[in-house]
């Protein structure tokens, strides 16, 4: 019996959607090696039968893993596990979340946290009037004793009172989520440039060292901009990894 369903158990009393239960357990089976690279999974019809689910539900579960780049569908043939280690696709989390999840115990030094008049660029990104007050937040993130990133964020003042928050111990995104600000879409631009004297100093790099740059604008579930940031990373300690899927 080489039925893919043998790795999957459902809990119909759980509030977790069935398709999500299937997707999660299928992902586990792949990551644990029970479904090796190139392995074909059972077809949707028989999988639905084995699990006591309808085909659309099973299909929805498989789609989750296809979107993650872990499975590939071939019409008329079947669905296979993609070779190669799984790099979780870039998700809508922050550097702090990423590091904390990796057990790296990040910490942060707040360089400045003030209200400033929005520059042209910031006003455009945040959709406020130029000159209007916004939060300007500058932080250096460390991992162990090494500085890793210099982050500069701008937020609308009416969104949150940043001075009341312990930004040394908690990430900005984590804080915003706790205050009920839900980020749903973010647009990023990744590039590179030399750091200036101050930037290199703060990051513990030599003068004019090459730095990885990232600009991000985040939008909440109403479609409005809630955060704009320009960040600098030490390229020897941080890279961006992402998985692309053709549709």
Partner DNA sequence: CACCTGAATATGTCAAGACATATTGACGAA
Partner DNA sequence: TTCGTCAATATGTCTTGACATATTCAGGTG
188 binding partner (options a copy of itself, DNA, none; Cβ < 5 to 8 Å by kind): a copy of itself
Q: Of 5 and 71, which has the nearer Cβ to a copy of itself? A: 71
Q: Identify the CA nearest to 168 among candidates 238, 65, 72, 96.
A: 96
210 binding partner (options DNA, a copy of itself, none; Cβ < 5 to 8 Å by kind): a copy of itself
Considering the rule CB under 7 A, would residue 185 count as an interface residue with DNA?
A: no
> Segment contacting DNA (CB under 7 A): 40-48, 87-95, 160-168, 203-211?
40-48
Q: Identify the CA nearest to 88 among candidates 63, 69, 60.
A: 69
Residue 31, phi then psi, degrees to nearest 5: -65, -35
Find tokens 């809990």 and name the residue: 11
59 binding partner (options a copy of itself, DNA, none; Cβ < 5 to 8 Å by kind): DNA
Kindly identify the residues of this chain, within the stretch 55-74, that bind DNA according to CB under 7 A: 55-57, 59-60, 73-74
198 binding partner (options a copy of itself, DNA, none; Cβ < 5 to 8 Å by kind): none
| Residue among 28, 34, 54, 87 that touches DNA (CB under 7 A) | 54
CA dist list (Å): 84 to 26, 43, 71, 88, 156: 17, 22, 11, 12, 42
In angstroms, give the least distance from the CB of 87 to a copy of itself.
Answer: 5
In angstroms, the CA 90 to CA 241 distance is: 7
Considering the rule CB under 7 A, would residue 17 count as an interface residue with DNA?
A: yes
Find tokens 């872990």 and name the residue: 70
121 binding partner (options a copy of itself, DNA, none; Cβ < 5 to 8 Å by kind): none
Q: Regarding beta strands 146-156 and 106-117, do their DSSP bridges make them parallel or antiparallel, or are they unpaired?
A: unpaired
Q: Identify the CA nearest to 53 among candidates 77, 17, 79, 78.
A: 17
Q: Of 40 and 142, which has the nearer Cβ to DNA? A: 40
Q: Of 163 and 221, which has the nearer Cβ to DNA? A: 221
In angstroms, the CA 50 to CA 26 distance is: 14
| Interface residues toward DNA, by CB under 7 A | 15, 17-20, 41, 43-46, 52-57, 59-60, 73-79
């Amino acid at each position: 019996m080489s039925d893919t369903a043998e790795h999957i158990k459902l809990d119909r009393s759980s509030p977790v959607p069935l398709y999500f239960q299937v997707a999660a357990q299928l992902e586990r089976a792949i990551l644990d090696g029970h479904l090796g690279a190139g392995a074909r999974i059972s077809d949707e019809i028989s999988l639905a039968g084995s699990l006591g689910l309808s085909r659309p539900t099973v299909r929805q579960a498989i789609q989750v893993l296809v979107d993650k780049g872990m499975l590939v569908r071939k019409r008329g043939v079947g669905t296979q596990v993609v070779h190669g280690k799984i790099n979780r696709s870039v998700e809508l989390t922050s550097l702090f979340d990423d590091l904390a999840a990796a057990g790296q115990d990040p910490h942060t030094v707040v360089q400045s946290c003030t209200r400033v008049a929005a520059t042209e660029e910031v006003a455009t990104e945040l959709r406020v009037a130029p000159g209007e007050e916004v939060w300007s937040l500058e932080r250096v993130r460390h991992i162990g004793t090494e500085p890793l990133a210099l982050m500069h964020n701008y937020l609308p003042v009416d969104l949150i009172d940043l001075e009341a928050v312990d930004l040394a111990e908690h990430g900005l995104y984590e804080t915003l989520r706790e205050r009920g600000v839900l980020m749903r879409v973010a647009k990023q631009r990744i590039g590179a440039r030399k750091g200036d004297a101050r930037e290199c100093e703060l990051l513990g790099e030599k003068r004019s060292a090459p730095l990885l740059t990232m600009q991000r604008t985040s939008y909440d579930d109403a479609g409005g901009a809630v955060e704009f940031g320009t960040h600098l990373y030490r390229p020897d300690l941080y890279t961006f990894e992402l998985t692309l899927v053709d549709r």
